Structure 1
Amino acid sequence: MQKTALIPYARLPRAHHGRHIVTSTVDVFGGAHWLLAERAPQPGGDVPLVDALVVSVHPDGNVELTELSAVRASGSYLGRLPDGRFLVATSRARGHEDRDQVQIFDALGRQAASFFVGDAIEHLLTDEAGHIWVGHFDENPAGIRRWNATGQLTWTWDGARIPGLVDCYALNVSGTSAWACTYTDFPLVEIRPDQRVTVWTNRIRGARAVAVHRHRVAFYGGYGEERNRLAHGELSETSVQPTDVGLLTLPNGDAPGRRRVAARGSRIYVQAEPFTTWSVFDLNS
């Protein structure tokens, strides 16, 4: 089976390796960001991370440091808005009373807003317009929704006719559009800026990330032995036509173990344990 090696993309500067990595992401403009704390949060605790730090490595190689105050210890997701503000969110929430599920921090690292977007977050990605796209796993029937940075709901999948949307397995946000692959039927879904939705049927099951470039698509991940599968396809009018299947490896050829993924347009970014380095696969290359 053909192997495709990821390309090294961004690395956490070694000076910060002594801190605990809470989470990490790649933003819509290609900047890589790490949320760091002095120590690992206590399990189940909501104690603020008083000395939280975001380390950003921009595509030009410049490094930026942003200190954040009183970040939730259970923060699972990090995002950067186009105006430079950061957001931190936790996947699990106790209900509408959990008004600090998503925290927005100003340029000085102070909390400027907070709001609730729903329990069971699987994916959270920001776009070029400052929208916050949230994909939920199967404990929340909300599926996929879009919010603005003040906590106003601006799009839901209700009426979009996305078949079998029980769990948002894969979410890709590029520009102001989103692509998704959802359980149980695994269609490929495009949600455009004008909120029009296009659905292609798809036989490739279980992917955890998707990349799209023109008429081509790549799905990363799967069940069991297909965990590191990289499946390619082409878009017809109504369906994804599979073309070839291989494996996606780390730059050194090894299979990733524990990992994070972030999909942006034609790119799938992969961060393997110990989570200090992002690597990239680009369907456009």
Structure 2
Amino acid sequence: MQKTALVPYAHLPRAHHDLHILTSTVDVFGAAHWLLADRVPQPGGDVLPFDALVVSVDPCGTVALTELSAVRARWPQLDRLPDGGFVVASSRARRFEDADQVQVFDALGRETSTFSVGDAIEHLLVDEAGYIWVGHFDENPVGIRRWSHTGQLAWSSDDAAIPGLFDCYALNVSGTAAWACPYTDFPLVEIRPDRTDRPVRVWANRVRGSHVVAVHDERVAFYGGYGEEGDRLAFGEITEASVEPTDIGLLTLPDGHAPGRRRVVGRGSRIYVQAEPFTTWGVLDLSS
């Protein structure tokens, strides 16, 4: 089976390797971010606010540091807002913590607002307009929602007629649009809330279990799968009603090894992959 290697993309500076990596992501503008802390919040213990450091590396390699005060997320999700602030959210929300599930920080690391988006966050991605897209997994099957940075619901999949939307396996946010590939039917879904004509389009898809998707013009790539297909990289062409498979292979780290435990982010034509110990991002660009 043909192998495709990731291209090295961004590295956490070695000066920060002594801190705990709580989570990491790549934002809509291509900058990589690591959320770091002196300790790891304990899942079974009390949530005590802790100070955290965000290390950001932009596409040119420039490093920036942002100190966040009184972070309360147990299982954090992270992304940056276009104004330089950050969103930190707890993937799991207990009833008495709902109001603080999502924290918004300004560019100086000061909390400006808190709100809840609901339990079981699978994906949290900010778009170029500053809206926060959230996809949930099946312990809270509410689908996909788009929120303002002050906690106002701006769009919901409730009335979008997306088939089999029980678990948002894959979510890709680029520009102000989103692409998704949800369980149980795994259709390819394009969501453009600002478009008055057909804001949601759906294509049938035979690739099952992917956790990240990338799209460029009429080409699409799906990464991941069940069991032995965890490293599968499947390509397809978007036709009028369906995605037609064109090729299948494996995605590897730049050195040719399998990624093992990983984080993945989909942004437009790009699939970003970060393997344990989560200090380095690699990229596959479908437009290349």
Per the shorter chain, which TM-score range? over 0.9
Match of 1:158, SS state, is: helix
Question: What's the counterpart of residue 240 of structure 2?
Answer: 237
Residue ranges of structure 1 left out of the alignment (5+ in a row): none
Q: Cα offset for 1:256?
A: 0.7
- The more displaced of 98-107 and 125-134 is 98-107
Name the counterpart of 1:48.
49
Change (3 A) 1:58 1:276: same
Q: 2:260 aligns with which of 241, 257, 261?
A: 257
Distance 1:263 1:183 in 2: 17
User: Structure 1 length normalisation: TM-score?
Assistant: 0.98
Query: Aligned letter for 2:67?
Result: E
Amino acid aligned to 1:266: S
SS in 2 for 1:15: helix
Question: Do 1:128 and 1:176's aligned partners in 2 also have CA atoms closer than 8 Å?
Answer: yes
Distance across 2 between alignment mates of 1:177 and 1:199: 14
CA separation of 1:216 and 1:96: change in aligned 2, threshold 3 A: farther
User: Does residue 1:85 correspond to 2:111, yes or no?
Assistant: no
TM-score, scaled relative to structure 2: 0.97
* 1:95 and 1:118 in contact (8 A); partners too: no
**C-alpha distance in 2 between matches for 1:57 and 1:81:** 15
> 1:41, CA displacement in angstroms?
2.0
Counterpart secondary structure, 1:171 = strand
Counting aligned pairs with the same residue, the percent is 75
Corresponding residue number in structure 2 for 1:30: 30
Give how far 1:95 is off: 3.4
Amino acid at match of 1:37: A
For residues 65 and 263 of structure 1, the distance between their equivalents in structure 2, rounded to whole angstroms, comes to: 24
1:73, distance to aligned residue in structure 2 (A): 4.6
Please give the residue correspondences for 1:68-79 in structure 2 after superposition, counting only pairs within 5 Å: 68-79=68-79
Consecutive unaligned residues in structure 2, runs of 5 or more: none
Aligned AA (2:118): G
- Worse-superposed segment, 75-84 or 5-14: 75-84
1:246 aligns with one of 242, 246, 249:
249
Q: Which moved more, 1:269-278 or 1:155-164?
A: 155-164
Deviation at 1:9, TM superposition (A): 0.1
Count of aligned pairs:
284
For residues 22-80 of structure 1, the C-alpha deviation after alignment (integer angstroms, 9 at most, x for no partner) is: 10000000000000001222233312122x10000001111000000011151420010
**C-alpha deviation, 1:193, in angstroms:** 3.9
CA RMSD, 1 decimal: 1.0
Partners of 2:264 and 2:287 in 1: CA distance: 18
Aligned pairs for 1:132-151 within 5 A: 132-151=132-151
Name segments (4+ residues, structure 1) moved above 3 Å. none
Structure 2 Cα separation of the partners of residues 270 and 249 of structure 1: 10
